Structure 1
Amino acid sequence: METVLLIIIALSGLSAVSSHAERQYHFVSEAKTMSEAQRYCREKHTDLATVDSMEVVKLLNDMAGQHNQAAWIGLHDDRDTRRWSMSDPSFYGPGQTEFRPWRSGQPSNGHDEQCTLLNSDGTWVDNACNYVTWVICFDVTGPNAAFVITKSSMNWTDAQSYCRENHTDLASVRNQTEYQQIVDLLPEGGWYWIGLYRDSWKWSDGSNSSFKYWKENEPNYNALKVCVAAAFDNSGKWEDLDCGVEKPFICYGPVPVSMQVIKVRVKKPNGVDLNDQAFLDAMLVEAKKNLRAQGLDDNVQVAWRKQPDGQVFHEEEEKKRDELYLKVDALCPESYRVNSPDQIRLLAIADNFQRQYSLLYPDHKPLLLCPVNECGERNREETRMETVLLIIIALSGLSAVSSHAERQYHFVYEAKNMSEAQRYCREKHTDLATVDSMEVVKLLNNMAGQYKQSAWIGLHDDRDTWRWSMSDPSFYGSGEIEFRRWRTGQPSNGHDEQCTLLRSDGTWLDYDCNIAYRSVCFDVTGPNAAFVLIESPMNWTDAQSYCREHHTDLASVRNPAENQQIVDLLPEGGVSIGLYRDSWKWSDGSNSSFKYWKVNEPNYEVFKGLCRCSF
Structure 2
Amino acid sequence: KYHLILTAKTWTDARTYCRAMYNDLATLETPAEIAKIQNIAKSQNCASATWIGLYNDVNSWRWSIRNESLGSFTFWYYPNPDNWIATESCAAIDLYGWYDFSCKTLLTFICFDESYTGTSSYIFINMQSTWSDAQSYCRQHHTDLASARNSTENSIVKSLAVFGGSWFGLFRDTWKWSDQTNFTSIPWIAEQPDNSLKQENCVLLINGQGGDDLCSKILPFFCESGIFPIVHAVYRKYHLILNGKTWTDARTYCRAMYTDLATFETPDEITQLQNIAKSQNCADSLWIGLYNDVISWRWSMGNVPLGSLKDWYPPNPDNLLAKESCGAIDPNGWYDYSCTTLLTFICFDDSYNGTSSYVFISTNVTWSDALTYCRQNHTDLASVRSSAENSILKSLAVNGGSWFGLFRDSWMWSDQTNFSSVPWLAGEPNNLLKVENCVFFFNGRLGDVVCARIKPFFCEAGIFPIIPAVYRKYHLILNGKTWTDARTYCRSMYTDLATLETPAEIAQIQNIAKSQNCASTTWIGLYNDVNSWRWSMGNESLGSFSNWYTPNPDNCLGKESCGAIVPAGWSDDQCATPLTFICFDESYNGTSRYIFINMQLTWSDAQSYCRQHHTDLASARNSAENSIVKSLSVSGGSWFGLFRDTWKWSDQTNFTSIPWLAGQPDNYLKQENCVLFLNGVTADVVCSKIIPFFCETGIFPIVHAVNRKYHLILTGKTWTDARTYCRSMYNDLATFETPAEINQLQNIANSQNCASATWIGLYNDVNSWRWSMGNEFLGNFKIWCPPNPDNWMATESCAVTNPTCWFDYMCTGLFTFICFDESYTGTNRYIFINMQFTWSDAQSYCRQHHTDLASARNSSEHSLVKSLSVSRGSWFGLFRDSWKWSDQTNFTSIPWIPGQPDNALQQENCVLLINGQAGDDLCSKILPFFCES
- Output the TM-score relative to the length of structure 2: 0.28
Larger Rg: 2
TM-score (norm 1): 0.41
Q: Which has the higher contact order (CA 8 A, sep 6+)?
A: 1
